[in-house]
Amino acid sequence: MSKIWLELKYGQGRAGLTLCRLDNERLLRIVKRTALDEAQGRLHDSELIDPVIATMDRFDLQKLRTVLDALIPDATNRPSSN
């Protein structure tokens, strides 16, 4: 089964050294919330500037939310491990 994790990297551009890999559920939920908050902020900003870009940002936010909800369930919605 596939798994999700975070990597902390150091370097320049795309090149870099992986310092550690983390799969802590609490940390994954924090990163999920942060990513969704940032996408929501981009949507808010684009709604003030351009309706076409806002539409694209809205679709991107929904796609990100759908994927992250599937990969990182909220603590109250975690599947049971029975």
**Are 61 and 39 spatial neighbours (Cβ–Cβ below 8 Å)?**
yes
Q: List the one residue out of 40, 44, 20, 36 whose CA is nearest residue 74.
A: 36
C-alpha distances (whole Å) from 48 to each of 10, 34, 45 are: 35, 22, 5
Q: Walk along the chain (82 residues) and give the pLDDT tens digit of each residue.
A: 789 999 999 999 888 999 999 999 999 999 999 999 999 999 999 999 999 999 999 999 999 999 999 999 988 766 555 4
The predicted structure's pLDDT at residue 43 = 98
Site of tokens 């969704």: 36
| Angle at the Cα of 17 from the Cα atoms of 1 and 30, rounded to 5 degrees | 55
Count of CA atoms in the C-beta half-sphere (13 A) of 71:
17
